[in-house]
Amino acid sequence: MDKLFGGNYPLLKQALHACALRQEAIAHNIANVNTPGYRRIDVSFEEFLRAAQQTPLQTTDPRHYALSPARLAKPQVTPDEDAPMRPDGNTVDIDYEMAQLAENQIRFQAISQLIAGRYQSLRTVITGGGR
């Protein structure tokens, strides 16, 4: 798939996975907005991906396959330690969660459209462009 999509497919696939995981985390936060002591969770993917992209992978033998750092990046669900706490110990701000939900939806749609466009291009090449 890498050669067909110019090497970006693993990155796009990981980004979609991160969006789906973030959607679950946001839904979990919203469901627990009134639960005393609940601490909001978040998905840290962007920082991890940046770090993975800056770490060069070395091959020690010409027969080794070069592995894209993006393949190693995995989204992580972590508690948000910086979120302000309410008197009941809950750290969920419903307005913030709704904004995160909208942003995540836009990101998911954009990535999905990129992947769909690449599949459409591939389909056009395979079918001969409608000839």
Instruction: Give domain limits for the chain.
Output: 9-127
CB 6 within 8 A of CB 95: no
Query: Distance between CA atoms of 59 and 71, rounded to whole angstroms?
Result: 15
Name the pairing type of β-strands 76-79 and 41-44: antiparallel
pLDDT category at 30 given cuts 50, 70, 90 is very high
What are 115's two structure tokens?
């992947």
pLDDT category at 101 given cuts 50, 70, 90 is very high
CB 47 within 8 A of CB 106: no
- Average pLDDT, integer, range 90-95: 97
If you search the block for the tokens 């090497």, which residue do you land on? 7
What pLDDT is recorded for position 48? 61
CB 58 within 8 A of CB 69: no
What pLDDT is recorded for position 123? 83
The one-letter amino acid at 21: L
Please list the residues that pair with 41 across neighbouring strands. 79
Of 44 and 95, which is predicted with more confidence? 95
pTM for this prediction: 0.74
